[in-house]
Every structure is written in structure tokens, then in C-alpha cells.
Amino acid sequence: MTVDDYSALLPLLNLIADGEVHSGVDLARRLGVSRAAVCKRVKKLADLELRVTAMRARGYQLARPLEFLVPARIIEALPANLAKPFPTIEVLPTVGSTNSELLQRARSGQAAPGFILLAEQQTAGRGRRGRPWVSPFGRNLYLSALWRLESGLPALEGLSLVVGVVVAETLRSGFGIAAGLKWPNDIVVNGRKIGGILIELDGDLAGPLSVVIGIGINIDMTEAATQGIEQAWTDVRSETGTSVSRNDLSAQVIAGLAQALERFSVTGFKGFRQQWCRLDAFHGLPVNVSGPGSSSLTGIARGVDETGALLLETGEAVQAVSAGDVTLRSGR
């Protein structure tokens, strides 16, 4: 769906977003169109994976209420005493990938450090190693933040793990969710993925660098969207048993990120290592670590070192692993 298509549907969405029943006559009057046009637009909402029930002689009802992301509401929910390293917050109705869009804007000079970009929907959301990130409309959090690093690539060691700490602690303290961390970039709850981190760079690896920090959190997944997910997953609604404000959650993540980046600039990852290890969902468990190509290692997960590398106990040695995917070893 294009931005123009979305713009045509936005007035209707605003009217029915509350999840109440709205008569076709009333919707037509308020939109200034015919009832047939209302019916046509309602059907078009299926392209956004939004389920609307048409009830004879009563009208239309959105299956679940929909909360739009609103920059003013996010800013209002930020702590009053928070330093403002992210002065610009923008929400797009639909985009291929918030990370890709923000990287492109940074390259063309259309976005300065401190830019936060969110989207209601991603049509080409990405996780690690180019894996797709399922991104249904208006249900989850797709957020990218632009940060500037002057000192080059070595200073970035462990940044994705730090952002993982931010997300996990936000879910724990703000929403009572028992979130943990799976090295290197996943946020999990009882072995089910609830969020992920994707860091992308542009510039001279010796510095300065534009750093785009991508955060995805499952908040209220749709049944249709989950058909394409090949791993265990969960969302905030399932874990809390209630609806959660996406604007409030966005504000809490942004506030946590702002504080963490300020601290990270001074301490690097070593200042967060203990926090990460306390949240480590796989600590002390037998795991497989698959690396580039067909290489793999097995051992016991023993946390991470001060650079953010995974510590893997293999036999009598403890090996630091800097890249790979971790899975629990069967038969544990």
C-alpha cells in the first residue's frame, strides 16, 4: 500500500479506531462520501491486515481498537528532567524499513543526529543477516534512532547489547514483563522472542560514523502476520493480558535509550556488562553457536566479556565468540 492509499483511508481509520460500532450512514456523512464508497474503503483496510466486521443494519466495527503513534503524545510522555538528545520525532504511515529510510536521509543530509523515525507499518522490515521482520500495521513498535559517533568502529563494541538492556529493562520495569536477553540482539520472554535490535552504519569506519539504532518490539501481533514467523514469539499484549499504549512504550524506550547512550559514550559496554549478564536468558545452559557459513560451536553459555563477545565454555577452555546465532542445544 502506498502513502497515497493510506492517506485516503486515514479519515476512515480515525473514525473507527476506537473499536466501537459505527453506522455506514454516519460514516458516509462524516466523510462526505456515499455509503458505497465507505464500503469500498472498509474492504481496502484488509490490505493493512485490519479486520473490520460489517454488521447488517448496524454498521462497521474494527476487531481491535487502534492507537496511532503521535509525536506530540510521545514527547509529552517523556520524563520532564530528561536530556533531549533526540529533538526530532517523526512517524511515517508506511515505509519499507525505518532503518533504511533513516540511513538514506542521513546520507542525503535530510536527517541530523538525534532524529527518531517510527512507522505504523514496514513493508520490508529487516532483522539480523537480512531476515524479514514481520511488521503489521498499527500494532507493534518499529523505531530507528540516528546517532553520531566521532571515534570510529571500535567504540561501538557492545552497542547492540546495550540497546537490548534498554528494551528488556523497559519491559520489565514499565510493564511487568519478565524479559531477558539472547545474545547478541534478541529480547525474549521464556524462550519466545518479543523484540530485536539492528544496528547499521554509514561513514568512515575510522570515524566519524552515522549510527542507526533499530528497535522492533511485538506489542499486539495480528493472527495473519504471525503465519510467516518461523520461531517462537510473543507480544506485550499476551504477556500483560491487556492493551498497552504504543505512545507510552515508545516514550519509555526513547528515554531509556537517551540515558544509555550518554552513559555508553563514557564507559563503553563494560559499564553495562553486569546488567546484561543479569538479564542473560541462556546463562549456564548448553547452546549451539552457528557462525558464518557452516561453522558452529557447542558449549555452555557463560555470559559476555567487556567487549560484548559471548563467553562459551567448550571442554576445559572458555572461548570468546564475537559473531553468530545462539540456540539451545537439544536434550538439555
Q: Which residues are catalytic?
A: 128, 193, 329
Grid look-up 537439544 returns 330
- Residue pair 257/89 in contact (Cβ under 8 Å)? The answer is no
SS3 of the chain: the string is CCHHHHHHHHHHHHHHCCCCEECHHHHHHHHCCCHHHHHHHHHHHHHHCCCEEEECCCEEEECCCCCCCCHHHHHHHCCCCCCCCCCEEEEECCECCHHHHHHHHHHCCCCCCCEEEEECCECCCECHHHCECCCCCCCCEEEEEEEEECCCHHHHCCHHHHHHHHHHHHHHHHHCCCCEEECCCEEEECCEEEEEEEEEEEECCCCCEEEEEEEEECCCCCHHHHCCCCCCECCHHHHHCCCCCHHHHHHHHHHHHHHHHHHHHHHCHHHCHHHHHHHECCCCCEEEEECCCCCEEEEEEEEECCCCCEEEEECCEEEEECCCEEEECCCC
How far, CA to CA in Å, does 17 sit from each of 75, 124, 240, 243, 295? 22, 25, 21, 14, 49
